[in-house]
Structure 1
């Protein structure tokens, strides 16, 4: 239950980042401010799906259950926030949100999957960088720079997309399919660096 609540709050934090990105006229500024969502999550110990998937290879199999709870909690936070904000004056950005989402849903599933893998890889760099770098400035640069890169590159983040899809109100079979493909891509991307680290460090011992 605690994990679920932390995950809901993380979903809300990502939604705050998503909203400022939709509002920002300058994409670079929007991408920078979006990273506040990650800053909030890792400063207050909240649970984010794209951060948890980086840990899968080094955890027991039951950890997958935790990852699923986090994913569902993130969904509740983002979907709830997306629909609540539709009822506020943020609704003036609905047209822009619809354009952003239309672009995402017009992409092929293969392209979407690859874009999600790249996002998962960058999220892993951000999360593991933040957790492993001792230097205070370095920790937060690790959290901010990969986030800006994934946003400015147009890569797909399943939790942020849940917010965009909800705010634009496009849920249906197609949107659900895309979100799950993106979530799977984020998982694959998030496991790449830990897998490489595991394999290469294993070789050093032989």
Structure 2
């Protein structure tokens, strides 16, 4: 049977988190590099599809291709790990130190992979700067400015808004990572992953790894965005919001409602209560004899 039950999925989440936390620096960095670059591929694909069809929803429909590749190849996406590694820490199968180390090296890999792809993409679609009005390049520039200066113009309300969008985003993204565990076949995994990823991208929520490509790429292409503006008004609050959304709404909520360990510990008192009831019922019968 292709379907994997939720209690088994939670067990897989813990095991996956432990495996990620145990990765060495080389593997975390390389897998993070590839994860960042592949998600950048998917982002420009989505922008291209939206520009060609004039339908942003088409872009959202094709964007999950990148996520599928990352998951099926066992690469790293720090936003997915936000829901998985903390569960391994909770189960004492990983340490806080190993969790933070994984986050650091994977994020560094994402930044490097995104930067390399941004440079190659610009060279490819503009013929090394000879085509200045390329639609996707202009979309990236505009998006980078909106994701930073747009929030900065709102002050504290902007920070609250970007944080909320990040929470909602990674609620769906981590569900995508978890949904891949609900099927055993490749086709089942792909379909299960596709749904929540489409949901977040179509609504314009804030994803830290996408932004690790879009904003610095926009800066590289000429966007009016500063390094400080990028991190203050987007990257840091988005990372925090992604962590909160993935950990709470996917990781912890699924763990506490479906964990086999929790269910087995709850069943023990109930099982031990049964003999007691038998003894109480048997005592009057013995007295009558």
TM-score by length of 1: 0.91
**1:10 Cα deviation after fit:** 0.8
Asked if 1:172 corresponds to 2:227, the answer is yes
Among 225, 239, 252, which residue is 1:195 paired with?
252
Counterpart secondary structure, 1:87: helix
Asked if 1:101 corresponds to 2:101, the answer is no
Give the structure with higher Rg (CA): 2
Q: In structure 2, what is the equivalent of residue 133 of structure 1? A: 183
**1:136 Cα deviation after fit:** 4.3
Equivalent residues of 1:10, 1:46 under 8 A apart = yes
Please show how residues 1-206 of structure 1 align to structure 2 within 5 Å.
Answer: 1-25=26-50, 26-59=55-88, 60=94, 61=96, 62-89=98-125, 92=134, 93-105=136-148, 106-107=150-151, 108-134=158-184, 136-169=186-219, 170-177=225-232, 178-192=234-248, 193-200=250-257, 201=259, 204=263, 205-206=265-266
Counterpart secondary structure, 2:184: coil
Q: 1:139-196: CA deviations, max 9, x gaps? A: 2122111111101111000111111112211351010121111111111111122211
Distance in 2 (CA, whole Å) between partners of 1:18 and 1:197 is 29
Counterpart secondary structure, 1:113: helix
Distance in 2 (CA, whole Å) between partners of 1:187 and 1:142 is 22
Distance in 1 (CA, whole Å) between partners of 2:145 and 2:48 is 17
User: Structure 2: 5+ residue runs without aligned partners?
Assistant: 1-25, 89-93, 127-131, 152-157, 220-224, 267-289
User: Structure 1: 5+ residue runs without aligned partners?
Assistant: none
Distance in 1 (CA, whole Å) between partners of 2:84 and 2:37 is 22
Distance in 2 (CA, whole Å) between partners of 1:134 and 1:84 is 36
Query: Which has the higher mean CA deviation after the structures are superposed, 129-138 or 160-169?
Result: 129-138
Equivalent residues of 1:56, 1:64 under 8 A apart = no
Query: Which has the higher mean CA deviation after the structures are superposed, 115-124 or 56-65?
Result: 56-65
Counterpart secondary structure, 1:154: coil
Distance in 2 (CA, whole Å) between partners of 1:23 and 1:135 is 30
**1:64 Cα deviation after fit:** 2.2
Give the number of equivalent residue pairs.
Answer: 206
Query: Which has the higher mean CA deviation after the structures are superposed, 192-201 or 112-121?
Result: 192-201
